[in-house]
Chain A
Amino acid sequence: MRNLTTTKENSWCPGCGNFGIFNAVKKSIESLVEMGEPMENIVMSSGIGCHGKMFDYLNISGIFGLHGRAMAGASGIKIANPNLKVIVFGGDGDSMGEGLEHTLFAAKRNIDLTMILHNNGVYGLTTGQASPLSLTGYRGLSTPQGNLETPFHTLGLIMEAGASFVARAYSARIPQLSELITQAVLHKGFSFIEVLQPCVSYNNTYDLYNSKTKNLAGIPASDEEAIKLAKDENDIYLGVFRQEQRPVFDQEVQSKARAMDRQERFAYLESRQF
């Protein structure tokens, strides 16, 4: 198997949660390939922010898109070739702010791709402004008096939008994260993993997550139970919150027409009265 790390010099801060996600993804790709998935079928898409640098360091095909549009680009890739396994990397500013519409619509459509949400609760690369997932009261350059808004509840939102596989992981627990990514990629339909990710420079949450994270006993029996556990602030639950099957958009939307080359299309154009 080819080396999954590019030669690009790494510029994440030492201790950044992105390293954990990077290592977990590489492990997942290795195990997917071992399970028989051709390496050339694995494609990534990322937005703009610290998470986006994954594109420069991870040696797989894909697109380093515009801020907020990683999911839109990935959706086009998947619709164009449903055989591909598409992993979308998004930051909390990128995918829950600028590009929230695409995240929700991917869940609504149940398009068969995997989103890894790097939730560090802050805009890291632009030096620490409040993100859509920052806590009320968070002080950053754009909210020096404290964030007035309440954060989105990521998992509740994505479950309500219709995601068919929903999980949460912690960037410092690499084996569990890697296992969840593999499961998510193999899931038929839209899969979403919220990864709790400390930002050592602007929002260091290692102590919080080390003390409060706890594994789910199993997939919750109902949506109500899943959402209740996902919103629990005393125990921060990790694991799979929902896994269900429903029709997959990128399969359903395909044309049933046979492929025609240019000369066939020309002949058809002239003979067919539209």
Chain B
Amino acid sequence: MHRGIFSVLIGGKAGEGVKKAAQVIAQIAMDHDNFIFQADDYQSAIKGAHNFSIVSIAKERLYSAYKRVDLVVSFDKKSVLKHNPALSENGVHFCDEKDSIEGCIGLPLNRLMKEHYTTGANLSLSAVAIFACLAGLPKEELAELIASEFRRNQEENISFAKAVYDEVLALDLALCCDLNNPGVKAPRKGYTGNQLISLGAWAAGLDSYYSYPMTPASSILHFYAKYRDELGVVAIHTESELAAANMAIGAILAGSKAAVGSSGGGVALMQEAFSLAGMVEAPLLVFLSSRPGPATGASTYTAQEDLNFALYQGHGEFPRIVASPDSYERALSLSAELLDIAWETQSPAILLTEKHLSECMYNMDLDASGLPQTEPVMKKPASPYHRYAFTDDGVSPLKYPGERNASAEDVIKWNSNEHTEDGVRADDADEIIAMKDKRKKKQDLINKLSRNYQRVAEYGESELIVFAYGSTVLELREAQKYHDFKLIAPIYLDPFPAEELEKYRGKKAVVVEHSAMPNFSGFLRAKLGIEVIKDVLRYDGRPFDADELVNILKEAKNA
């Protein structure tokens, strides 16, 4: 085992059930009170392309998956060759007997499949059976698990899995993954960041979600669509991202708490509507999950290239909120916070994240105690009603059309043109200035409300200061187990948490980010005047693992 953590890698072709097998292995580990972190590496293809998933399993909290692995199950020759070098010292690698190379145990997987299936053969079960055997899981428990996790061909699945299990048992290998974790109660459920983002906004009252599929944000749409009749969120797959954002703003006008989501390309298509949200003062919540760009980029990998894009979203000037979760727990709470601040200030908000957090799985308990406990403060509308009535803090009371909310005398006009208090187009210089000043005023309220929440996270204590944001923080927290440094993670990016970070002004620091042209580093230098002693940049779309970061940070310290 590497660093006391057991990692399993399953590799094969898209469509072979690599990810599902990894999820079931992760579930076995969680069912026995272990902590897990699952990372899926896949390409933009339905069938054929090489995919692999890593599940790391530990006795204590895991923030990232490890690249040095203890068990590899390869479903094809490509996986055998690609992943054999990742094996740890005492690691074992299994594959079909025809693909075997030196150091890799060939099992008659294809022969057993032919023997046990008449139709619908499922190779991915072999990985589950191999793991179960090496982890000492009784064969009957494996059978029960397979029956509950794989609904089709249950009998054949079970007989195939048992046959693979027996083959491994006959090899008389030492148990390599001890699942016992006495005295610890680990969370029994794994969540992806996108599930937590979806649930956080829902908990704070989200009513509708408008989106066009784009990896790695699509699973938010899938989540809301799946649970529509349970959670009460109307999920619409729209004709385009332009439609999504404009529909969401219409929904908000009618009183629906609405959000949209996409990756960089899709959010780029929403830019004009984001600006519309600024102008009509619509509390539009946007989930932006990044992947490497520009353009179509590397669609199934991770990146942090969109920081400036998020900060400067939309043409024209208007206040907005931009924040990025540094943990899975924060993905849940931040999503709720942003919906609340957006509604109380009638301003658009962006939750910026990355493929790494969006799609990796982490086990935790769903706990609402960290979520904003009270509803956002909504002002009482006066009569006669003016949509853009001037107020001390710039926020005008909201009223929604329809007999339940308005009276026959109410005229509620939202206008993309510059407008007067009653929402009719304005052309006079004084009117333009007055309405711009009104919107500008809301910045103070946004600043104030953001201070109700944790805006900066700090982890560890050391002379060495390291800045990161988003899911890079997870990677660094795993590295902190082996190397001391002080990790500082701004969660809120706009408004910038200047008060909390003032003590680091002018300090020497390392900045770690997933981009080629260090935009987070530049942002910190501009905002805080830090002296960057090293920019740690990764832009191959892959996450860092703890070992890689420890080596890099050791060098940085010596530099």
Given known pairs A81-B255, A266-B203, the reply for A40 and B243 (CB within 8 Å) is no
- Are A270 and B253 interface neighbours, CB within 8 A? no
Interface members, chain A 255-272 (any B CB < 8 Å): 255-260, 262, 265-267, 269-270, 272
Q: Taking CB as reference atom, which chain B residue is nearest A258?
A: B232
**In the complex, A65→B277 CA distance in Å?**
10
**In the complex, A255→B417 CA distance in Å?**
34
Residue of B240, B411, B412 contacting most chain A CB atoms (<10 Å)? B411
Note all chain B residues with C-beta closer than 8 A to A39. 408
Size bracket of the A interface: 35 or more
Q: Which of A66-74, A184-192, A205-213, A216-224 contacts B (4 or more CB under 8 A)?
A: A66-74
- Are B236 and A40 interface neighbours, CB within 8 A? no
Which of A1, A60, A259 lies in contact with B411, CB distance below 8 A?
A: A60
Q: Taking CB as reference atom, which chain B residue is nearest A105?
A: B239
Which of B202, B242, B254 lies in contact with A81, CB distance below 8 A?
A: B254
Q: Is B341 in contact with chain A by the CB < 8 A criterion?
A: no
Q: Taking CB as reference atom, which chain B residue is nearest A38?
A: B403
Note all chain B residues with C-beta closer than 8 A to A55. 413, 415, 425
- Are B240 and A2 interface neighbours, CB within 8 A? no
- Are B246 and A69 interface neighbours, CB within 8 A? yes
Interface members, chain A 238-274 (any B CB < 8 Å): 253-260, 262, 265-267, 269-270, 272-274
**Chain A facing B: main interface SS:** mixed
Least CB distance, B499 to chain A, in whole angstroms: 29
Residue of A2, A59, A76, A262 contacting most chain B CB atoms (<10 Å)? A76
Given known pairs A2-B408, A255-B233, the reply for A273 and B189 (CB within 8 Å) is yes
Q: Is B140 in contact with chain A by the CB < 8 A criterion?
A: no
Least CB distance, A21 to chain B, in whole angstroms: 18
Which of A74, A105, A273 lies in contact with B250, CB distance below 8 A?
A: A74
Q: Is B401 in contact with chain A by the CB < 8 A criterion?
A: yes
Least CB distance, B162 to chain A, in whole angstroms: 28
Q: Is B106 in contact with chain A by the CB < 8 A criterion?
A: no
- Are A80 and B246 interface neighbours, CB within 8 A? no
- Are B424 and A6 interface neighbours, CB within 8 A? yes
Interface members, chain A 49-91 (any B CB < 8 Å): 53, 55-56, 59-66, 69, 72-81, 83-84
Note all chain B residues with C-beta closer than 8 A to A1. 408
Which of B246, B250, B406, B415 lies in contact with A40, CB distance below 8 A?
A: B406
How many chain B residues touch A (Cβ–Cβ < 8 Å)? 71
Least CB distance, A8 to chain B, in whole angstroms: 5
Interface string of B435-479 (1 = CB under 8 A from A): 000000000000000000000000000000000000000000000
- Are A259 and B232 interface neighbours, CB within 8 A? yes
Least CB distance, B334 to chain A, in whole angstroms: 15
- Are A61 and B411 interface neighbours, CB within 8 A? yes
Q: Is A178 in contact with chain B by the CB < 8 A criterion?
A: no
Given known pairs A63-B280, A83-B403, the reply for A77 and B250 (CB within 8 Å) is yes
- Are B425 and A8 interface neighbours, CB within 8 A? yes
- Are B228 and A81 interface neighbours, CB within 8 A? no
- Are A72 and B250 interface neighbours, CB within 8 A? yes
**In the complex, A219→B158 CA distance in Å?**
63
Q: Is B89 in contact with chain A by the CB < 8 A criterion?
A: no
Q: Is B416 in contact with chain A by the CB < 8 A criterion?
A: yes
Note all chain A residues with C-beta closer than 8 A to B205. 262, 265
- Are A62 and B240 interface neighbours, CB within 8 A? no
- Are B416 and A65 interface neighbours, CB within 8 A? yes
Q: Is B230 in contact with chain A by the CB < 8 A criterion?
A: yes
Q: Taking CB as reference atom, which chain A residue is nearest B244?
A: A72
**In the complex, A77→B276 CA distance in Å?**
15
Interface string of B366-400 (1 = CB under 8 A from A): 11100101110000000000000000000000001
- Are B407 and A40 interface neighbours, CB within 8 A? yes
A contact set with B: CB distance below 8 Å: 1-2, 6, 8, 38-41, 43, 45, 48, 53, 55-56, 59-66, 69, 72-81, 83-84, 101-102, 105, 253-260, 262, 265-267, 269-270, 272-274
A-B contact pairs, 29 of them (CB 8 A): A6-B424, A40-B402, A60-B411, A63-B250, A63-B414, A63-B416, A64-B414, A64-B423, A65-B246, A66-B246, A69-B242, A73-B250, A75-B243, A75-B250, A76-B210, A76-B253, A76-B258, A77-B251, A77-B254, A81-B256, A101-B239, A257-B229, A257-B231, A260-B232, A262-B205, A262-B374, A269-B203, A270-B365, A274-B199
Nearest 4 interchain pairs by C-beta: A76-B250, A72-B246, A257-B232, A76-B247
Given pairs A79-B236, A102-B239, A255-B233, 5 additional interface contacts (CB within 8 A):
A40-B401, A76-B250, A76-B252, A105-B239, A255-B229
